[in-house]
Amino acid sequence: MESQTPLAPATDSTGGAFDLVIAGGPVVWLLIAMSVLALTVIIYKFAQFGMTGIWRTGHVEKAVKLFRDGNRREALAAVQGAKDPASLTVATAIRGSLRSDVSEAAVREEVERVATAEINGLKSHIGLLEIIGSLAPLLGLLGTVLGMIQAFRAMEAAGRNVDPAILSGGIWAALLTTAAGLIVAIPVVAIASWFERTILQVARRTEDSVTRIFTPDLTRRTESPADEIRAASL
């Protein structure tokens, strides 16, 4: 009978990962907790952006066009029920223009208040992601420093009978926390930056839409080019 070569035992990746967490110590556990918190905030922000519909802009443009054409009530109906900051702010401006008992200054003040409140709502919890992105590498570095201290103390205790495995094992365990900190920080910082850029675009779009509500469309010609030149020369 032919002898069969025994199969190598399968590597338990789950157990290996757990061993790495144990080797990293309390710092790695803290980084794991921070990553879970960051993931929760990220999921919440994506859900918030999706529910408010910040990427849908067609109805706002339609409302502005209708308003400038003199169809104010149709313009209000175009943004009615929308939840994004641009729609809510434009709707406030149109409602103010329909009321003769409210001055334009009061309408502008209320529009600014609504726009600020909506943009601040989108910015909520972004600061928490920035804090996690900043602290995670520092915590990883702290874990590395503490691990190196332990490794050198073990070398000192061993005296002349220093086993290189003691030093190498202590070093890789110490560097593990730095790697964990970077793994947490890099995606968190990148996603937080993307959130901020998206909110900035929403704020600019909201400001542009409201400005077009309060100002006339000077790009539209009301006279022929010759008449415009003649009027400008008078």
What are the domain boundaries of the chain?
A: 26-215
Residue 167 confidence (pLDDT): 64
- Count CA atoms closer than 13 A to 30's CA, side-chain side: 15
Using CA atoms, how far apart are residues 176 and 178, in angstroms rounded to an integer? 5
pLDDT for the residue 81? 85
pLDDT at residue number 196? 96
- pLDDT for 7: 40
User: What pLDDT digit, counting tens, does each position of 133-186 carry?
Assistant: 999 999 999 888 888 877 777 777 766 666 666 666 667 777 888 889 999 999
Q: What is the rounded CA–CA span in Å between residue 133 and residue 36?
A: 13
Please enumerate in sequence order all residues whose Cβ is within 8 A of that of 81, keeping only pairs 6 or more positions apart, or say none.
none
Residues 185 and 36 sit within 8 Å (Cβ to Cβ): no
Q: Which pLDDT does position 168 carry in this prediction?
A: 66
Residues of the chain with pLDDT under 50: 1-12, 231-232
Q: Are 108 and 214 within 8 A, CB to CB?
A: yes
Q: CA-based diameter of the chain, in Å? A: 113
Structure confidence at residue 5 (pLDDT): 40
Report pTM. 0.77
**pLDDT value of residue 20:** 59
Task: Please state whether 76 falls in left (phi above 0), alpha (psi between -120 and 50) or beta.
Answer: alpha
